[in-house]
Structure 1
Amino acid sequence: MTSSTQRHFEASVMNGGFILRAAAVSGFLLLSGCSLFSHQHEKPAIPKTADAETLYNYGIDALHTGHYELAGGEFELLQQNYPYSGFTGNAELMEGYAYYLQGEYALSVQQLERYLQLHPTSPDAAYAFYLRALCYYEQIANVERDQQGTVEALDALEEVITRFPQTSYARDAQLKIDLCRDHLAGKEMLVGRWYQQQRNYEAAMTRYQRVVQDYQTTNHVAEALERLVEVYLALGLKDQAHQTAAVLGYNYPDSQWYRYAYNDLRENHLLKNDLKKPVTHPGEQAHRGFFSRIWHSVF
C-alpha cells in the first residue's frame, strides 16, 4: 500500500468514516498513543469469550500496529460469532482492507465484493469500490508483460467515477485512470516497435494507429505519429506519410518526433511547403537511427 493511499484511508477514519471505536477505553488508547498491542511483533491472545465490540476493537488496534493478518482474523471471527451485531458490517469491510494491506489483493477483492453485495446502499460503498479498484491497480505489471490487470484496474476505476462522481475517490480514480491509459499506450508502442523492427509494417501500423485513436491524451501520441510516418514510407504510402507528419507538426511542433518525421520526409524528397521547418536544439541530432530512437523513447 502506498503511503498516500494509507493517508487517504486514515483521513477517512479521522473524519467520521466507517471505523467505529465504541469503547471509551479504546478512545483513550488512541488519544494517548497507547495500544492494546504495545510492540509491533507481539500478538497477545484474544479472550475466547470476547464480545463483538471487543473483537472489533482488537482488530482495529491490530491494524494500527501493523498486525494485518491478525486484524483480518479478528474481523473474520467477529463475523462468524456475531453475524447480526452492529459491528459486523464494518468488520466485513475492514477484513477487505486488512487483506489489501497484506498484499492479498484477490482475497481483498473477494471480500469487498461480498460486502457490496450485502450492503449495496452503505454510506461506505464508495470507499469499498475505490479500495477494490486499488487492488487491481496495485497489480499492474510493467509494459513488457500482459496488461489484463491494467484493463481490470481501468474498468474498476471508471466504475468508481461513474457511481460516485462527486467524491474524493473519483478524483483520485481519474488520476489513476490517466496512468492506466498511459500504461496501455506504452504497451502498444512496445509491440509496435517490435513489429517495425521485424519489418512487419502492417502490424506495426495497426499498433501505432491504435495509440493515436484510443489514447489521445497520453504521452505516447507524438512518437506514435512519427513511427507511422516511418511505416507509411516503408510501405510506399507517401500521401499518408505526409499527412501524418502534418498532423504531428500541427499538434507537436516543438517535439523531437516532429523533427525526426520532417527529416524522414526530406530524405525521401517528399517535403512540401505546408510543413513548417522544425527547430533543432543545440547538441541534438537532426535525425537518429531507429535503434537510437527506441533507446531514447524507452529510457
Structure 2
Amino acid sequence: MYKTLITCFILLICSFTQSYANDLEKTETELYEEAVGLFDQKKYKQAIRAFRKIEDLYPFSYWAMKAKLLSGISHYNMGDYSGAASDMDNYIYVYSNGEDLSYVYYLRVLSYYMQINKVQLGQQTAYKALELATEYINLFPNSEYTEEMKEKVKLITEHILAKEYSIGRFYLKRGEYLAAIKRFQNIISNKDSSYFPKSVSCLIAAYSALGLDLEAEQYKSLLARNIKGSDEIPHESKQT
C-alpha cells in the first residue's frame, strides 16, 4: 500500500514536471493565446489554470498582468465572486500602474456587490462594497463606469438603510426605545431614502413612548415638512 502511494506520487510529480517542461518550450505569447482560446470557449476553469501557469513562469511580465485580469474575469463569469475579488486585489497590489487599472477597480466593486447578503443577514460586505464604489468615483471621476458606480452607491446605501430600519423596528417592538432611536437616527441623515419618512414616524413613536413630547413634536414637524416638500411619500424599497 505504501509503495503504491509512493509510485502514484512519483508519477504525479513526473506528469506535472513534464507539463511545465512542455510549457517552457512555448513562448509567453503562445501560452497566453492558448489561455485566451480557452477563455473565449468559456472553459473558465481550464483558462484559470492556464493563466496561472503564465503568472508562475513569467511573473510580473506584461502577459502575466493580462493573465491576472482575465483570471479575475473568468472567476466572475463562473459566479465565483470571491475569487474574482481576490484576483483584482492582487492585480492592484502587484500592478499598481497597470493599463487596465480602471476596469480592475470596477470589476472589484462588482465582485463585492454580487456578494452582498440579504437584509436579514450581516452586511459587512455591503459596507465594503460601498467603500470601494465611493473610492472608485474619487479615483476615476471621468471613467465610463463612474455613473454606474454612483448608482451602485445609491443602491448599496438603500440596502444598508433597509437593514438599519429592520433592526430599529425590532427594537421598537421590544420596547427598547433608546436602541431603536439610535438606528432610526442613522437613517434620517439620508433624506432621499425611501426609509426616511418611515424612520421619522418611528422616532415619533419612540420618543412619545418615552414621554419626550418635545422631541416627538420636533420630528412631527420634520415629517410634515418632508411630506409637504414632496409629491408623495416614497414607497419602501424592495429588500434583497
TM-score, normalised on structure 2?
0.81
User: Which residue of structure 1 aligns with residue 214 of structure 2?
Assistant: 239
CA contact (8 A) 1:154 1:177 kept: yes
Which of 145, 155, 165 lines up with 2:131 in the alignment? 155
Which residue identity lines up with residue 148 of structure 2 in the other structure? D
Query: Counterparts of 1:298 and 1:119 in 2: how far apart (Å)?
Result: 39
Query: Counterparts of 2:159 and 2:120 in 1: how far apart (Å)?
Result: 10
2:208 is the alignment partner of 1:208:
no
Deviations 1:143-194 (A, max 9, x none): 1000001001111111111111111222211111111100110001000111
Runs (5+) with no aligned partner, structure 1: 1-44, 258-295
Which residue identity lines up with residue 62 of structure 1 in the other structure? L
Query: Counterparts of 2:132 and 2:238 in 1: how far apart (Å)?
Result: 28
2:42 is the alignment partner of 1:52:
no
Aligned pairs, number = 216
User: Which residue of structure 1 aligns with residue 43 of structure 2?
Assistant: 67
After TM superposition, give the deviation of residue 249 of structure 1 in Å: 1.4
Query: Counterparts of 2:91 and 2:106 in 1: how far apart (Å)?
Result: 13
After TM superposition, give the deviation of residue 298 of structure 1 in Å: 7.5
2:223 is the alignment partner of 1:248:
yes
Query: Counterparts of 2:232 and 2:51 in 1: how far apart (Å)?
Result: 55
Greater displacement, 103-112 / 153-162: 103-112
Query: Counterparts of 2:147 and 2:121 in 1: how far apart (Å)?
Result: 28
After TM superposition, give the deviation of residue 256 of structure 1 in Å: 5.8
After TM superposition, give the deviation of residue 297 of structure 1 in Å: 8.2
Which residue identity lines up with residue 122 of structure 2 in the other structure? D
Q: Aligned residues: percent identity?
A: 28
Structural mapping, 1:208-287, within 5 Å: 208-213=184-189, 215-253=190-228, 255=232
Q: Relative contact order: is structure 1 or structure 2 higher (C-alpha 8 Å, sep ≥ 6)?
A: 2
Greater displacement, 147-156 / 86-95: 86-95
Query: Counterparts of 1:243 and 1:102 in 2: how far apart (Å)?
Result: 52
In the TM superposition, structure 1's runs of 4+ consecutive aligned residues that sit over 6 Å from their partners are 296-299
Which of 68, 83, 96 lines up with 1:120 in the alignment? 96
Which of 68, 92, 98 lines up with 2:68 in the alignment? 92
TM-score, normalised on structure 1?
0.66
CA contact (8 A) 2:65 2:98 kept: no
Helix, strand or coil at the partner of 2:98: coil
User: Which residue of structure 2 aligns with residue 9 of structure 1?
Assistant: none
Query: Counterparts of 1:82 and 1:129 in 2: how far apart (Å)?
Result: 24
CA contact (8 A) 2:184 2:202 kept: yes
Which residue identity lines up with residue 180 of structure 1 in the other structure? I
After TM superposition, give the deviation of residue 51 of structure 1 in Å: 2.9
User: Which residue of structure 2 aligns with residue 136 of structure 1?
Assistant: 112
Helix, strand or coil at the partner of 2:38: helix
Structure that is richer in helix per residue:
2
Runs (5+) with no aligned partner, structure 2: 1-18
For residues 256 and 78 of structure 1, do their structure 2 counterparts lie closer, same or farther at Cα, with a shift above 3 Å needed? closer
